[in-house]
Amino acid sequence: MTGLELRGIGKAFGQTTVLHKVDLAVRPGEFLALLGPSGCGKSTLMRIVAGIEAPDHGQVLIGGSELTQAHPAARNVAMVFQNYALYPHLTAAQNIAVPLAMRRLSAWQRMPLLGGLLPGARAIRRAIAQDVARVAEPLGLAHLLARKPAQLSGGQRQRVALARAVVRDPSVFLLDEPLSNLDAALRSSTRREIVEIHRRTGAATLYVTHDQAEALTMADRVAVMLAGRILQCGTPREVYEQPADIRVARFLGDPA
């Protein structure tokens, strides 16, 4: 079954159409890079998958279910943003635990009468701490969990954001230019970490970038987007060696 499937997604802002009938499928366990220049509509498409933005046309299917209108929290989709979006007043551990705490909270709200029967607060805290440790350890964050974002480097903050995204075992993992705020040295090590996290989650991963090197080295398949249309989708080799048309060839030849 398909992890993520987009059918005929269209979106306009005012008179400007930014997405033209986009079709795309990402299988569970697959790493697909959405590659295109700035302004071509990549982030808009990601926001539609995450449920932060509604499409004008088309359908979003996750795990085979049509969830086009579903609330973001009902999609089992995790998204990592370019600017990390961590809570400055919380520690790394608390930031990572936010999605877990929200889930607990909504469970309690749904069954207030059963609240007294649920495990005690200490047991809940212990379970959350175990989940946080499980995702923090492979990211090299174990010794940094008590720090607040201001006490972490850019690369460490990015890893906290990644940990927070995967802690709920998402079936779809969205990354929107996650390396663009890192320096060159950190970028290459973080590339490997992201592929590693993807492998461990088995999620359908959609990775947005304008950087060809990232797309071609990290992804199982690359979808090339220009001006709101996906012009080609194939393995890095297919896309690089046989561009589907002159626009794709021009973009690959002149990424700037």
Give the binding site for ligand ADP (CB under 6 A): 13, 18, 36, 38-44
> How many CB atoms within 10 Å of residue 62?
23
Q: Is 209 in the site for Mg ion (CB under 5 A)?
A: no
Residues 9-48 that bind Mg ion (CB under 5 A): 43
∠ at Cα 178 (134, 92), nearest 5°?
A: 40
Q: Indicate the residue among 48 and 197 with the shorter CB distance to ligand ADP.
A: 48
Minimum distance, C-beta of residue 45 to Mg ion, in the bound complex (Å): 9
- In 3D space, the residue among 58, 56, 63, 87 whose CA is nearest the CA of residue 4 turns out to be 63
Q: Which tokens in the block code for residue 195?
A: 């592929």
Helix runs in the chain, H state only: 42-50, 92-110, 121-136, 154-166, 184-201, 212-218, 236-241, 246-253
| Closer residue to ligand ADP (CB): 18 or 244 | 18
The interface partner of residue 164, options being Mg ion, ligand ADP, none and the CB cut-off 5 to 8 Å by kind, is none
Of 44 and 201, nearer to ligand ADP (C-beta) is 44
Closer by beta carbon to ligand ADP, 144 or else 224: 224
Q: Rounded to the nearest whole angstrom, what is the least distance from the CB of residue 113 to ligand ADP in the complex?
A: 42
Q: Are 209 and 177 in contact (CB under 8 A)?
A: yes
Q: Which does 206 bind (CB under 5 to 8 A by kind): Mg ion, ligand ADP, none?
A: none
Residue 91 contact partner, candidates ligand ADP, Mg ion, none, CB within 5 to 8 A by sort of partner = none
170 and 99 Cβ atoms separated by less than 8 Å:
no
Using DSSP, state whether 65 is helix, strand or coil: strand
Residues 115-144 touching Mg ion, rule: CB under 5 A, are none
Strands 31-35 and 172-176: unpaired
| Shortest spacing between CB 14 and ligand ADP, in angstroms | 7
Number of H helices, E strands in the chain: 8, 10
41 binds, among ligand ADP, Mg ion, none (CB under 5 to 8 A by kind): ligand ADP
Return residues touching Mg ion (CB under 5 A).
43
